[in-house]
Amino acid sequence: MPLMTRRRALGGMAATLALPQVAHAARDTLRVTTRSGVVRGRMADGVRVFTGIPYGTAARFAAPRPARPWQGEWDATRPARAAPQPAGMDPLPAVQAEDCLQLNIWAPAAPGRYPVMVFVHGGSNETGWSGWEVIAGNRFAAHGVVCVTLNYRLGALGFMELGHLLGRAYAGSGNNGLRDLVLGLRWVQDNIAAFGGNPRAVTLAGESSGARNVCALMALPAADGLYARAMVFSGGAQTVHIPATAAIFANAVVARLGGVERLLVAPFPALVEAQVAARKGWPQGLPFRPTVDGAFLPQAPLARVIEGRAPRVPLLTGSNANESRLFLNEVQASRPIWSQSVSTEPMPRMTALNRAYARAFPELTDAQRHWRLLTAEEYGMPTLRLAEAHAARGAPVWRYRLAWPAPGGPYKGHSPHVLDLPLTFDHVTLPSMAQMFGLSAADQPIAEAWHEAMVAFVKGGAPGSSGMPAWPRFDATTRATMVFDRVSTVENDPDGAERLLWQQTPIEPVSGARRR
């Protein structure tokens, strides 16, 4: 078992420092009227900042409801509450509460009708927080984009199907995290114009499990029309439960909790403790995932894209060259592949692929081969399949691979999971990023080139910046991909040899066929 699990790696990163604007003394207070009431924010770093705005409320395991109206002013200068979650390596700098459906907004200071980016945080659907300093949206706001980050229920509270245990009233509880996100998107449609945003120009973005949730939202009829563009960073459209596996995992959590009768009355720390114990015994990674229930989520996200049912919105997607390096050091990666490091594929297929990789890449050490295979399994191939399927339906698609290596820290020389975030949000000078990746002000030109390309996409054009060549659209013929590095290049089918290995090893059918 790896010494640092996925949860501890991501949970510890999300629990570093509070929102960067909290450290600034308020220079001005701003008041905006929403449909629920007046919110009071602040000016920080030259942009308007509003944190901890309620967009909804929910009883345990129940579908969310819109936020209740309030009298007077809501103090939107305090950090948003965090969803209940396991402890990370550092204390989470936020209050955990089941009443956590809150969001943050960074908006330009000047009036306008700006494009909007709604960002869904990652954390394996078990950890994470909308207030993590690395995803603060102040740099987007400085460049003419209204940036929104939002909390949603995590773990058992957001992704545990209980209809078979608690009755029909709780059927669909395994998708409550997605229901929260849909409600958040509706809040943006109803209210973002008051903050200077254009509700018709919303880009839905996410990283890691947040990106997988973006793909799930693309599969949700309830989310259609709530966004105009999508960005999928290190995600995919296949990581879902079918009802049978969802029920088995829920049963495992309940057994560790002490019985069905405790589900609605146990304090949330006990529920979190039970979910951690169940996860440790689960034979695959990422047990907290949406459930294809045939109703709210009619089919697996990739299936909906392939069938042409998903909105044909412009899409930017890709992954990092060495994603799995974040979770496995060289000693751990040298060992046989552990099933909990695999999120989508069955282990017999991974065994066959491991042999195929050994034949195709004999120059790689065991650790290098396993890093490459696990990166492809969870990130590279899923984002490629999404790009292929969406482009095949005529949608504009741009694909990338982040090959720029971390300049220092424990991942020096690699492009691991999460390295894209400080580039996307232009936060390479944060102390936490210096510790993790050795980032510093010397890397500012790299961050500016990447961030500028993301801003261009959110503003309605092709991604691109002065720091990279023209970025062509992806299609199944050329497979043009922006390989982002200190000197970026456009490569056609850069992972062709690896792609063929996956095609030549039988692919499991996409789970979750549509029910009529």
Q: Kindly list the distances between the CA atom of residue 156 and the CA atoms of 61, 92, 119, in Å, as whole numbers in the listed order.
A: 9, 19, 22
120 shares a domain with 141: yes
Specify the pLDDT at position 515: 32
The answer to whether 95 touches 78, Cβ cutoff 8 Å, is: no
Specify the pLDDT at position 17: 34
CA 416 centroid distance within chain: 15
- Total domains in the chain come to 2
The Cα–Cα gap between 235 and 382 comes to 7
Residue 488's φ and ψ, nearest 5 degrees, are -85, 150
Specify the pLDDT at position 15: 41
Specify the pLDDT at position 510: 44
User: What string of DSSP letters covers 385-425?
Assistant: HHHHHHHHTT--EEEEEE-PPPSSGGGTT---TTTHHHHHT
Q: Domain end: 313, 346, 362, which one? A: 313
Q: Which amino acid is at 441?
A: A
For tokens 């056609």, name the residue: 492
CATH code at position 40:
3.40.50.1820
Specify the pLDDT at position 87: 86
338: buried, middle or exposed (CB in 10 Å: 19+, 13-18, 0-12)?
Answer: middle
Catalytic residues: 208, 323, 417
327 shares a domain with 305: no
Specify the pLDDT at position 507: 56
Specify the pLDDT at position 2: 36
357 shares a domain with 231: no
In order along the chain (516 residues), what is the average pLDDT of each group of 10 residues? 41 41 45 97 96 97 98 97 86 91 97 97 97 98 98 98 97 98 98 98 98 98 98 97 98 98 98 98 97 96 97 98 98 97 95 96 98 98 98 98 98 98 98 97 97 98 96 96 97 95 72 36
Specify the pLDDT at position 11: 46
Domain span at 307: 9-239+291-313
410 shares a domain with 427: yes
452 shares a domain with 342: yes
- Cα angle at 216 between 419 and 149, to 5 degrees? 50
